[in-house]
Amino acid sequence: MRQTQPSLDLLIALDVLLDEGSVSGAARRLHLSEPAMSRTLGRIRVAMGDPILVRSGQRMVPTPRALAVRAEVRAVVEAARRVFTPTGEPDPATLVRDFVVQASDAVIQAAAAPLLTELAVSAPGVRLRFIPEGPGDQRVLREGLADLEVTVISDPEPETLVEPLVSDRPVGVVRAGHPLLDGPITAERFAAADHVIASRRGRTRGPIDDALAALGLSRRVRGTVPTFTASLLLTRETDLVGMAGEWQVRSAVELLGLVTFPIPVELPPIELSQAWHPRHDADPAHAWLRARMRAVFRAPD
């Protein structure tokens, strides 16, 4: 017979354990000793009739039962937090929260530094954990694996709330002294250059190719890399031509000694947005995070 009754404290502990994937990490988050956290995990196992986390080599992994209830546990914990959170603007100086932000590599490169610098001064109790895009992106908000998503959001889940942040202009990126810079960059000269594409799915075509095809041109794609940052490093070291959003690349241009130029074909803008699940909409702390993200994107150059 089960001796442990479910409680909000156990749900909070379970949420943190599944988030951290370790007893020691959960203990630090909850300001408990490791033995106390181990005892809490034991109570959770008894209450749920499942081991929840099991050892796999040097780490612990969730059981199928834990994965099945993860999103529900997160939703209950967030709902409880809203009940006990005073309404109104939170005080950043005393706010203690962990936020998980899923973002494209380009957004992380451009936004992480100003955000983390600001929070270190104004909100020292807030921790941002940026995670990359990947398979199952559409589920991360619904399942509570991320608090905020910041990227090009073209096909959100029906319940997802989306706020446009910036309309970015695509630009070409090359190293300083690149031969393409020796004269007017026409569509013909642009197409004749060697190109690298940043695509986490390894795609070798995009809107540029469609626009060039309409002019009877095609470009030579020498390779693809999975991240925006890798493409910038390649353009710095080679004669490859890359592409990026003007806003996203602005901080890297000076740092890496790169040069941007207008792409000589008509292209749609890169629409960057932030998205979140409705369960966070009324949370003052989450609204504060969204405001900080908004300010970073709309800050003057």
What CATH number is associated with residue 153? 3.40.190.10
Q: Is residue 188 part of a domain?
A: yes
What is the pairing mode between strands 97-103 and 148-151? Answer: parallel
Q: Are residues 160 and 175 part of one domain?
A: no
Locate 258 and state its tokens.
């790169």
**Lookup result for tokens 């005073």:** 86
Residue 300 pLDDT: 57
Q: Are residues 275 and 160 part of one domain?
A: yes
Query: CATH number of the domain that 55 lies in?
Result: 1.10.10.10
- pLDDT mean for each 10 residues of the chain (301 residues): 66 90 89 90 91 88 91 84 72 91 90 93 94 73 89 86 93 96 96 94 90 95 92 95 89 88 94 92 91 85 54
Residue 84 pLDDT: 73
Q: Are residues 109 and 241 part of one domain?
A: no
Q: Cα 72 to the chain's mean position, in Å?
A: 22
Q: Is residue 92 part of a domain?
A: no
The count of domains in the chain is: 3
Cβ proximity of 52 and 104 under 8 Å: no
Closest CA to 199 of 190, 208, 189: 208
Residue 81 pLDDT: 77
Q: Are residues 106 and 229 part of one domain?
A: no
Q: What is the DSSP letter of 241?
A: B
Locate 14 and state its tokens.
């379970």
- Containing 108, the helix (H) or strand (E) segment is helix 105-122
What is the pairing mode between strands 126-132 and 97-103? Answer: parallel
Q: Are residues 195 and 157 part of one domain?
A: no
Residue 157 pLDDT: 82
- Containing 261, the helix (H) or strand (E) segment is strand 258-262
Q: Are residues 105 and 49 part of one domain?
A: no
Q: Are residues 289 and 161 part of one domain?
A: yes
Q: Is residue 48 part of a domain?
A: yes
Q: Are residues 201 and 152 part of one domain?
A: no
Structure pTM?
Answer: 0.71
Q: Are residues 118 and 208 part of one domain?
A: no
Query: Of 63, 84, 105, which residue sits at a domain end?
Result: 84
Q: Is residue 123 part of a domain?
A: yes
Q: Are residues 188 and 45 part of one domain?
A: no
Q: How many Cβ atoms from other residues are within 10 Å of residue 92's Cβ?
A: 17
Residue 233 pLDDT: 94
Q: Find the angle CA(287)-CA(300)-CA(262) to the nearest 5 degrees.
A: 115
Q: Is residue 91 part of a domain?
A: no
Boundaries of domain holding 139:
97-167+271-297
Query: Of 84, 108, 127, which residue sits at a domain end?
Result: 84
Q: Is residue 18 part of a domain?
A: yes
Closest CA to 247 of 128, 95, 114, 73: 114
